[in-house]
């Protein structure tokens, strides 16, 4: 675990805490223990809303650069990892240090290899299936900064879901949406806005709520969708509530919280959709065929039908949301 490597680095002197100044931690995940760092001096920087909310209850989440030191928790995307390291290189004072930490399954070996040719990198410390190494701040890594890309007319950023273009599941779902989709609609896990763009091609849609937990993706969606019917929410889709009950929910829910598949995440999206829908509302969902969503769908909807798909994906239209005795008014 990340906390074990951090504690070991501090105990062995591989890292020495600065005597003063704030310590930035970039992109930690829920459950990461930062208690080895001095209380009151930690600033957590993350654009993923569930992680942001988790750490906001424990540490400062307000940017206050420059920092005295930083720990970069590498994401899986190589380009996104480089961009985070480059951001830290700008935001840490030249007298400080930057530590890079990650799991082997998330590409820490590649990340450290990339760094060795650019900075004076320390020996790596290995523990708990991951590695940590550090280098002095004050280096120029500006060529690694995140750069928006234009893909089929859409702006995307490295590290966002399907940054190279619409994924197969979303294409299938978009093709299956009815021409007469109407009323108030939400796109849960909206990403950079491909499905929202397709939804807004329906003139009967009065309002569309785009709900996305990743701030970078939502920022791209704001660029990609100038339609005044769209409203943007940086939020966890499993807990977000609309102002009024909805006529339809459209979603291609994520099913990874890390490298391993987590079907409970998609099931949480399905339960959230049920809470948001009016009694005559409907859910349009695309999912990989192997994901075990049938029980959640049956628990939440009286009528569940597969309306499109291929060998890898299925598109589900679910109607007649079951009454939720615990549902509060949105």
**The predicted structure's pLDDT at residue 257:** 56
CA distance 227 to 201: 10
**The predicted structure's pLDDT at residue 256:** 56
Per DSSP, helices labelled H in the chain are: 2-12, 49-56, 78-91, 108-116, 168-176, 194-199, 215-224, 263-276, 294-300
Please determine, for residue 166, whether its predicted confidence score (pLDDT) is greater than 80.
yes
Q: Please choose, from the candidates 157, 204, 186, 302, the residue with its C-alpha nearest in 3D space to the C-alpha of residue 252.
A: 186
Are 27 and 48 within 8 A, CB to CB?
yes
- Band the pLDDT of 136: cuts 50, 70, 90: very high
Percent of the chain with pLDDT over 70: 96
pLDDT in tens, 12-61: 999 999 999 999 999 999 999 999 999 899 999 999 999 999 999 999 99
Give mean pLDDT, residues 168-180: 97
**The predicted structure's pLDDT at residue 145:** 94
Please determine, for residue 325, whether its predicted confidence score (pLDDT) is greater than 70.
no
CA distance 94 to 92: 6
Between 285 and 255, name the one with better pLDDT: 285
**How many Cβ atoms from other residues are within 10 Å of residue 244's Cβ?**
12
Q: Is the peptide bond before 66 cis (omega within 30 degrees of 0)?
A: yes
CA distance 73 to 77: 12
Please determine, for residue 199, whether its predicted confidence score (pLDDT) is greater than 70.
yes
Give mean pLDDT, residues 153-171: 94
**The predicted structure's pLDDT at residue 330:** 42
**The predicted structure's pLDDT at residue 261:** 62
Please determine, for residue 70, whether its predicted confidence score (pLDDT) is greater than 70.
yes
pTM of the predicted structure, to 2 decimals:
0.93
> What is the average pLDDT score of the chain?
94
**The predicted structure's pLDDT at residue 217:** 97
> What Cα–Cα distance (Å) separates residue 284 from each residue in 31, 121, 134, 248, 252?
32, 49, 46, 8, 9
pLDDT in tens, 213-270: 999 999 999 999 999 999 999 999 999 999 999 999 999 998 755 555 677 999 999 9
- Band the pLDDT of 87: cuts 50, 70, 90: very high
pLDDT in tens, 89-119: 999 999 999 999 999 998 999 999 999 989 9
**The predicted structure's pLDDT at residue 259:** 53
Please determine, for residue 1, whether its predicted confidence score (pLDDT) is greater than 60.
no
298-310 burial code (b ≥16 CB/10 A, e <16): eebbeebeeebbe
CA distance 251 to 313: 13
CA distance 231 to 244: 14
3-class secondary structure, 244:
coil
């Amino acid at each position: 675990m990340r906390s074990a490597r951090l504690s070991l680095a501090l105990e062995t002197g591989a890292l020495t805490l600065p005597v003063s100044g704030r310590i930035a931690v970039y992109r930690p995940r829920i459950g990461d223990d930062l208690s080895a760092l001095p209380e009151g001096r930690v600033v957590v920087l993350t654009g993923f809303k569930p992680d942001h909310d988790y750490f906001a209850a424990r540490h400062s989440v307000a940017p206050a650069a420059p920092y005295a030191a930083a720990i970069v928790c590498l994401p899986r995307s190589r380009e996104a990892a480089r961009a985070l390291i480059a951001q830290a290189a700008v935001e840490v004072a030249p007298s400080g240090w930057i530590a890079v930490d990650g799991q082997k399954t998330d590409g820490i070996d590649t990340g450290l290899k990339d760094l060795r040719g650019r900075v004076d990198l320390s020996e790596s410390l290995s523990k708990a299936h991951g590695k940590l190494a550090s280098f002095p701040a004050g280096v120029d890594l500006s060529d690694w900064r995140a750069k928006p890309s234009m893909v089929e007319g859409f702006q995307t950023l490295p590290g966002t879901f399907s940054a190279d273009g619409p994924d197969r599941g979303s294409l299938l779902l978009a093709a299956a949406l009815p021409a007469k989709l109407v009323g108030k609609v939400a796109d849960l896990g909206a990403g950079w806005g491909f499905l929202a763009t397709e939804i807004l091609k329906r003139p009967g849609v009065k309002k569309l709520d785009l709900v996305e937990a990743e701030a970078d993706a939502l920022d791209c969606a704001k660029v990609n969708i100038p339609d005044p019917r769209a409203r943007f929410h940086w939020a966890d889709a499993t807990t977000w509530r609309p102002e009024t009950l909805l006529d339809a929910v459209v979603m291609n829910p994520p099913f990874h919280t890390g490298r391993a598949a987590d079907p409970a995440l998609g099931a949480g999206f399905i339960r959230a959709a049920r809470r948001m829908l009016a009694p005559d509302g409907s859910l349009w969902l695309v999912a990989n065929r192997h994901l075990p969503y049938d029980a959640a769908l049956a628990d939440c909807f009286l009528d569940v039908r597969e309306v499109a798909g291929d060998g890898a994906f299925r598109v589900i239209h679910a109607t007649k949301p079951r009454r939720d005795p615990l549902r509060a008014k949105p």
